Amino acid sequence: MTTAIAAPFRFFSLQVVRTRRLGASLVRVTFAGEDLEYFFSDGRDQSLSLFLPHPGQSVPAVPFELGDGWWQAWRELPDGVRAVMRSYTLRALRRDPDEIDIDFVLHTPAGPASAWASGAGVGDRVVLLGPALADNRAIRFRPPGDTDLIVLWGDETALPAIASILESLPAGRRVRVWLEVHDAGDVRELVTAADAEVTWVVGESSVDALREARIPAAEHPYVWIAGESGCVKALRRHFVRERGIDRRRITFVGYWRQGMSEEQLRAAE
């Protein structure tokens, strides 16, 4: 049973149909489900909430049949029962058959989501809270129409969004990208028709590298930065104070915070 909550989002009951290792610490999981015919997104950094089962559970415990009351009821479930919730970016949506891809970063030591992804197999079941309208508030990459330079920064958690953004950009669009990964095995060719220059920084912070980098002159730049919350905030200040970019032309998203679980991060918000 699928219950809509508040448009433009709804719950989707999905199962794993295949997995593929993308790099040293990245794995792509492909999901399918009858409900995906109602899943729509035009965004390139579409945010999703994924609910995962605990070991020993066949399905994640999410009381979505309660409609708008699901959130409070979910929070009141015991720790070992309540489904693990994590935020991810939609990597791809396909039709005929209806499928979505989500890329996971595998950590050591593994958290609950990383552990689930590393052992995911065909038929494993999850619940997804995702978009039922193609244009929705969980899409953040929205360059203004007059943009003449796009600057992207992200760590490995933002790699799926940046790869998707690059794939969507037209030929000739000027783009400068900085990507921070912990393992050289995660560096790979990114597909784009744009005039894109991609800088990979392995095993160290790319914040200083970006601060010192020469960025092409532009009258109307647009900046998108996502990843660890502290780095994102530092870079936003840098672009506003030191580069003189209008803060309204900067999109910044903290995907995670050093030393905090997603549950702790949500509780602190």
244 within domain boundaries: yes
The candidate with the shortest Cα–Cα distance to 152, out of 243, 221, 233, 248, is 221
Check whether residue 218 and residue 153 sit in a common domain. yes
106 and 196 housed in the same domain = no
pLDDT at 1: 39
List, as one string, the DSSP characters of 27-77.
Answer: EEEEEE-GGGGG-----SS-EEEEEEPPTT-SS-B--GGGGGGHHHHHHHS
Q: Return all residues near 193 (Cβ < 8 A) that are at least 6 apart.
A: 169, 170, 171
Q: Which domain holds residue 203?
A: 149-256
Measure the CA–CA gap between 183 and 200, rounded to whole angstroms: 11
Radius of gyration of the chain (CA): 19
18 in any annotated domain: yes
Q: Is residue 171 part of a domain?
A: yes
Long-range contacts of 131-134 (CB under 8 A, 24+ apart): 131/8, 131/9, 131/39, 131/40, 131/41, 131/43, 131/46, 131/48, 132/4, 132/7, 132/8, 132/9, 132/10, 132/38, 132/39, 132/40, 133/7, 133/8, 133/40, 134/40, 134/41, 134/42, 134/43
The pTM score is 0.90
User: Across-strand partners of 131?
Assistant: 9
Residues 188 and 221 reside in one and the same domain: yes
The residue out of 77, 104, 131 marking a domain boundary is 131
Helix (H, G, I), strand (E, B) or coil at 126: strand
Residues 157, 256: contact at Cβ < 8 Å? yes
Q: Is residue 65 part of a domain?
A: yes
- The per-residue pLDDT for 257 is 85
**Into how many domains does the chain fold?**
2
Indicate whether 197 and 105 sit together in one domain.
no
Residues in the chain: 269
Q: Is residue 143 assigned to a domain?
A: no
Alpha-carbon torsion (102, 108, 113, 115), positive or negative: positive
Q: Is there a single domain that holds both residue 165 and residue 251?
A: yes
Annotate 138-159 with b (16+ C-beta within 10 A) or e (fewer).
bbbbebeeebebbbbbbbbbbb
The residue among 131, 157, 178 that closes a domain is: 131
Same domain, 108 and 60: yes
Out of 85, 101, 131, pick the residue that ends a domain.
131
Task: Residue 23: give its domain's CATH number.
Answer: 2.40.30.10
Domain of residue 190, CATH code: 3.40.50.80
10-residue block means of pLDDT along the chain (269 residues)?
60 97 93 96 96 96 93 95 96 97 89 93 97 96 97 95 97 97 92 97 89 94 96 96 96 82 48
Are 222 and 158 found together in one domain? yes
Q: Does 75 reside within a domain? A: yes
